[in-house]
Amino acid sequence: MQTAKQLSVSLVNKPGRLAAMLGALGKGKVNFRALSVMDSGDRGTVRFVPDDFTAAAEVLNGMNVRYDAADVLLVEVPNQSGAFRKVCEKLAADHLNIDYAYCALGGGNGTKGSVAVIKVNDLARAQKVLSEGTASTKKKLPGRRPVHAR
């Protein structure tokens, strides 16, 4: 598990806009560790983790494309049923919220597993929880309902 910088770009949802941005990043020799594209009406949100954050930011600045940067967790997840659920449960047990998540496949056919990109509300605590393999030992608040019952 490691942390990385993610870039988020809002593009007009028209043919060729995504291809133009990806083409410019390719010319700038920027590779992607993970990529997600979501539609939200007349705009789309592109989130990606570049292999070189500085180079990607320079390309986007050169195109006059506005972007947001965020620190995210990159968690290796085996290609097994329920593997990502276990990561989510560990974070939930420690009352850590997942703002959003997406995955990038490791191998060509996904047999080597994948990398989950996770944006959480407390990055340092999430790293600690996931590296320990169990939820932290802090005392639970009395009267809290289990996460699955909310």
Q: Parse the chain into domains and list their residue ranges.
A: 2-70, 72-132
pLDDT at 134 over 60: no
Rounded to the nearest integer, the mean pLDDT of the chain is: 87
Residue 113, pLDDT score: 73
Element (H, E) at 74: strand 67-77
Residues 115-130 have a mean pLDDT of 94
Q: Which amino acid does the sequence have at 47?
A: R
pLDDT at 20 over 70: yes
Q: How far apart are CA 16 and CA 26, in angstroms?
A: 15
Helical H runs in the chain?
A: 17-27, 53-62, 83-93, 123-132
* Rg of the chain on CA atoms, in Å: 18
The hierarchical CATH code for the domain 72-132 is 3.30.70.260
- Indicate yes or no: pTM above 0.85: no
Model confidence pLDDT, tens digit, residues 45-72: 999 999 999 999 999 999 999 999 999 9
For domain 2-70, give the CATH superfamily.
Answer: VC0802-like (3.30.2130.10)
